[in-house]
Amino acid sequence: MSEQLRARAETLRQEVRDFYATVMPAELRDKAHRHQVLSKEDYVGWMHLLDKQGWSVAHWPEALGGKGWSPLERFAFEDELARLGCPWVIPFGVKYVGPVIYAFGTDAQKQRFLPGIKTTEEFWAQGYSEPGAGSDLAGLRTMALKDGDHYVVNGQKVWTTYAQWADWLFCLVRTDRDDKPQTGISFLLIDMKSPGVTVKPIRTMDGFAHVNEVWLEDVKVPAENLIGEEGKGWTYAKFLLKNERTAGAIVGWAWHVLDRLKKHARETRVNGVALIDQPLMRNRIGEYELRFMALELAAYQAVTAMVDGTENGSEASLIKLRGTELYQEVMETLVEALGHAGVAFDTEALHSAGLPPLGPDDTGGILKDHFYNRAATIFGGSSEIQRNIVAKVVLGL
Amino acid sequence: MTTDLETIGMLRDSAARYADDNYSFHQRWAVLEQPEGYSRQAWSDFAEFGFLALRLPEDDGGLDADAVAIGAVMEIAGSRLLMEPLLASAIVGTGLLLKQGSAAQKAALLPALADGSLVLVLADDDEAGPCVIDGNRITGAKLGVLHGDIAGKFLVSAIDAASGAAVVALVDADAAGLSRHNYKLVDGRGAATLRLDGAVAERLQPESGQPAAAALADIRDEATVALCAETLGIVRSLVHTTNEYLKVRKQFGKFIGSNQALQHRMVDCLLLQEEVRALTAAAQQALAGPAEGRVRIVSGARAYIVTAARQVANEAIQMHGGVGVTDEVDVSHYFRRLMVIAALFGNRDAHFARFVDAALTA
């Protein structure tokens, strides 16, 4: 990895910090600081901001409106946003389906979909998991049967993030009943306004419904919405999952929450002594610092391997495993250190300028994130699946 | 004060049967939607069963229940996620009144506690600094008072303005100078923050002359042990539910429980459950024993159990996958209940530090 590239990544980090301080609207920055629930308008506005900076698809090739960012720049960008506590860069369009379309789609599909993805004029959701196909994605059963110039789709998807806002669903479907699990799968783009599409919210622990069930009943999908070839959906899905598992943001999230814990421990006194000076807490935070250092260095090592093309396939799994474990543990400590405030929760206050019942003004957001990210070791390839990947691709087990 | 095994068995059976018939996970949804965060019907049913008179002397129609008997009910409160103020009022509030109340104060309040018409809650935590009582006026704040939103009266721990001695003061919920801010906790139960600004208070004045500091120390230990039993109920439910899930959930063409990696983690959860059970029993015994050895066992049990339960809950969610974080399954409700339990009557670090001091002081 060249010094030049390193310097570019550092410059990018500074640009992101400047953007946060001067370009991001105060209202959005405040919501982000307090980790409030964002509306669709908030998110779309956020994605527009990133697009104006030229960052929404900077990882795409230059010919398609991107900047051809290297893995290091992608990492630096996502890491820095996460450290600042910025809203999530919703990945379904720009990170997931966009690259699938430009890598495997027809010219007509590229022209039709890529501009709306870049600007988030069209909002995308991911139709992968099913009730019987979670970790075992290839066990999916949603059927798409060809009928003249269209497919008729029947099945059920689950854990579909923001399906309630989506204009489009990219969907793994089975186009052949008889094939082996992985060979009968195809990749289909479904207009969420089609008759027969029903979205049912799933309430999670945090009291919100970010995820949904999506029921597909005799949904007619034009055959031209098939990506690539029938039966090759698994190849495209694996290509996409590789992008899902770059997992750059988790390092920044872990940093952010550890920083928040240190701030709280410095500001909070128990029996007259600052929490951070109490031996048990000091020791624990010290252990987290050490683990974070290892995580960060391992992440740079992994990104360097990606830049140099020497990766062995375990890198993203390692970052996700260690990052999510650390994040969850630090969050547990933070919630516990909040004392009574850490168990008082008012979901209403997360929608407005309202304050949490107790504690600092970001307490509600901390709790929401604690609940939501309890699933961080489950979604995007569970910790068990990540270990299976490493066992298989690196250890040959 | 040792409750006989037959009585304990009866308590356990009646609580379990009541929960089976009236407090299933689905029936509990209606309770969660109550603005006050508990079921008035269940509360009056508990009064009929005698659960609210558990601690009362037999002469007053109670059971004079020991920690094991209380634990039998608390274990069900945990395993079935009962929302009513059993711990806060029937065990802690009533227990402290029995220790510190004068004969007249007890006569005035015990009947209403036993029949459920009065909810009496201890406001004890000093996170906002201690309350101060001057004559019969009390000033200060109490944060996170469990069921403080529905209490009719409070027992407020304070220090005497003149002597600095600990005092337990009885304060009416509608006393002038008391304001409360009510809210819900993450597990759906209600709580309140109390602000006392010269609120009128009545000091508890026991004929026994037991200092309030000693009574408060005892009641905190008793509450701690009751929370251990409640946690045991939760851990047993989580282990059972997760074990069953491993036997029915299929991925990659086989039951997920056939994966050795998950089997071993499930075994670890079972080991934790057995440790929680043993520690809870030891802590219950320690309450009846001499004060010297008690702290080591009670706080040691509590510190271990908080961590053990958290690990079991995290594993339960992880092994349930996405389903585990939804509102629709009990696993996520146990997770949230454990968060609240961990914040009551001293957190894990406070108990661990207490344990270390006791264990390393020869």
Tell whether A81 and A142 lie within a shared domain.
no
Query: What pLDDT score does A349 carry?
Result: 85
Asked, for residue A114, whether it belongs to a domain, the answer is: no
CATH code, domain carrying A141 = 2.40.110.10
Instruction: Using the 3D structure, point to which of A182, A201, A230 is the last residue of a domain.
Output: A230
Judging by DSSP bridges, how do beta strands B131-134 and B153-160 pair with one another?
parallel
Mean pLDDT of A292-321: 93
Question: Does the pLDDT at position A298 exceed 80?
Answer: yes
Tell whether A250 and A226 lie within a shared domain.
no
Which of A230, A244, A296, A315 is catalytic? The answer is A244
Distances (CA, A) of A82 to A12, A92, A142, A364, B97: 14, 18, 35, 18, 51
Instruction: Using the 3D structure, point to which of A196, A230, A264 is the last residue of a domain.
Output: A230
Mean pLDDT of B243-260: 97
CB spacing of B322 vs A158 below 8 angstroms:
yes
CATH topology of domain B120-203: Butyryl-CoA Dehydrogenase, subunit A; domain 2 (2.40.110)
Residue percentage of chain B with pLDDT more than 90: 94
Query: What pLDDT score does A242 carry?
Result: 77
Chain B interface residues (partner A, CB cutoff 8 A): 125, 127, 143-144, 181, 183-187, 191, 193, 250-253, 259, 261-262, 310, 314, 317-318, 321-322, 324-328, 332, 335-336, 339-340, 342-343, 347-349, 352-353
On whether the CB atoms of residues A50 and A56 are closer than 8 A, the answer is yes
Angle between helices B212-248 and B260-288 (to 10 degrees): 160
Encode pLDDT of A327-346 as tens digits. Answer: 999 999 999 999 999 999 98
Chain A residues whose beta carbon lies within 8 Å of the beta carbon of residue B335: 205, 374
Tell whether A318 and A381 lie within a shared domain.
yes
Report, at the CATH architecture level, how domain B5-114 is classified: Orthogonal Bundle (1.10)
Three-state DSSP class for residue B24? coil
Give the homologous superfamily in CATH for domain B212-361.
Butyryl-CoA Dehydrogenase, subunit A, domain 3 (1.20.140.10)
CB spacing of B185 vs A343 below 8 angstroms:
yes
Whether residue A305 lies within 8 A of chain B, CB to CB, comes out as no
Picking from A158, A278, A358, the nearest residue to B143 by CB comes out as A358
Which pLDDT band, with edges at 50, 70 and 90, does B1 fall under?
low
Tell whether A182 and A137 lie within a shared domain.
yes
Tell whether A253 and A187 lie within a shared domain.
no
Domain region containing A72: 3-89
- Phi and psi for A157 in degrees, rounded to 5? -105, 160
Q: Does A267 qualify as catalytic in the annotation?
A: no
Query: What pLDDT score does A186 carry?
Result: 96
Residue spans of the domains in chain B: they are 5-114, 120-203, 212-361
Nearest Cα neighbor of A114 from A56, A172, A49 is: A56
Query: What pLDDT score does B218 carry?
Result: 96
Whether residue A365 lies within 8 A of chain B, CB to CB, comes out as no
Tell whether A255 and A220 lie within a shared domain.
no
Asked, for residue A331, whether it belongs to a domain, the answer is: yes
Tell whether A175 and A305 lie within a shared domain.
no
pTM of the model: 0.96
Three-state DSSP class for residue B117? coil
Tell whether A376 and A312 lie within a shared domain.
yes
Tell whether A226 and A250 lie within a shared domain.
no
Structural domains of chain A, count: 3
Tell whether A70 and A161 lie within a shared domain.
no
Asked, for residue A181, whether it belongs to a domain, the answer is: yes
Tell whether A208 and A135 lie within a shared domain.
yes
Encode pLDDT of A48-105 as tens digits. Answer: 999 999 999 999 999 999 999 999 999 999 999 999 999 999 999 999 999 999 999 9
Mean pLDDT of A192-204: 98
Which pLDDT band, with edges at 50, 70 and 90, does A182 fall under?
confident
Query: What pLDDT score does A180 carry?
Result: 77
- Phi and psi for A129 in degrees, rounded to 5? -60, 150
Encode pLDDT of A219-258 as tens digits. Answer: 999 999 999 999 999 999 988 887 766 667 899 999 999 9
Tell whether A274 and A316 lie within a shared domain.
yes
CA atoms within 13 A on the CB side of A7: 3
Encode pLDDT of B17-59 as tens digits. Answer: 999 999 999 999 999 998 889 999 999 999 999 999 999 999 9
